[in-house]
Amino acid sequence: MTELEREVFGQMPQEEGGGVVEKFILKSDSVKVEILSLGCTIAALEMKGRDGEFSDVVLGFDTLEGYTRKHPFFGAVVGRVANRIAKGRFTVDGKEYQLFLNNGPNSLHGGARGFDKVLWSPQVLPNGVCFFRLSPDGEEGYPGDLKVWVTYTLSGRELAINYRAQTSKTTPINLTNHAYFNLAGQGSRDIYDHEISIEADSYLPVDDTKIPTGEVATVQGTGFDLRQPVELGKHLQKFCLEGFDHNFCLQQAQARRFVARARHPPTGRAMEVHTTQPGIQFYTGNNLDGSLKGKGTVAYPKHSAFCLETQNWPDAVNKPHFPNALLRPGEEYNHTTWLVFNAA
Q: Which amino acid is at 112?
A: A
pLDDT at residue 128 tops 90: yes
Average pLDDT over residues 87-112: 96
Confidence of residue 278 (pLDDT cuts 50, 70, 90): very high
| pLDDT confidence of residue 231 | 98
Confidence of residue 344 (pLDDT cuts 50, 70, 90): confident
Check residue 304 and give left, alpha or beta (phi > 0: left; psi -120 to 50: alpha). alpha
In 3D space, the residue among 204, 220, 219 whose CA is nearest the CA of residue 311 turns out to be 204
Cα–Cα distance measured from residue 100 to residue 107, given in angstroms and rounded to the nearest whole number: 6
% of residues, the chain, pLDDT over 70 = 100
Binding site: what residues are annotated? 83-84, 178-180, 245
Q: Check: CB of residue 217 under 8 Å from CB of residue 204.
A: yes
Binding site for beta-D-galactose: what residues are annotated? 83-84, 178-180, 245
Q: What secondary structure, in 3-state letters, does 73-106 show?
A: CCCCEECCECCEEHHHEEEECCEEEECCCCECCE
Q: Which of 34, 195, 309, 335 is catalytic?
A: 309
178 is catalytic: yes
Q: List the end-to-end C-alpha distance of the chain, in Å, as a whole number.
A: 22
Q: Which amino acid is at 249?
A: C
What torsion, rounded to 10 degrees, do the Cα atoms 169, 178, 150, 147 define?
-20
| pLDDT confidence of residue 214 | 98
Q: Which amino acid is at 270?
A: A
Cα dist from 102 to 276, 319, 321, whole Å: 28, 21, 26
To the nearest whole number, what is the mean pLDDT of the chain?
Answer: 97
- In 49-173, the DSSP E strands lie at 54-56, 77-78, 84-85, 89-92, 95-98, 107-108, 121-125, 128-135, 146-155, 158-167, 171-172
Confidence of residue 15 (pLDDT cuts 50, 70, 90): confident
Domain harbouring 155, CATH code: 2.70.98.10
| pLDDT confidence of residue 253 | 85
Q: Which of 34, 109, 139, 178 is catalytic?
A: 178
Cα–Cα distance measured from residue 305 to residue 6, given in angstroms and rounded to the nearest whole number: 28
Confidence of residue 164 (pLDDT cuts 50, 70, 90): very high
Domain that holds residue 35: 3-343
Average pLDDT over residues 152-165: 98
Average pLDDT over residues 284-312: 97
Average pLDDT over residues 283-303: 97
Average pLDDT over residues 115-134: 97
| pLDDT confidence of residue 160 | 98
Q: What's the residue count for the chain?
A: 344
pLDDT at residue 329 tops 90: yes
pTM: 0.97
| pLDDT confidence of residue 221 | 97
Cis peptide leading into residue 256 (ω within 30°): no
3 is catalytic: no
Average pLDDT over residues 120-130: 97
Confidence of residue 16 (pLDDT cuts 50, 70, 90): confident
pLDDT, tens digit (0-9, with 9 covering 90-100), for 32-52: 999 999 999 999 999 999 999
| pLDDT confidence of residue 140 | 97
How many domains is the chain built from?
1
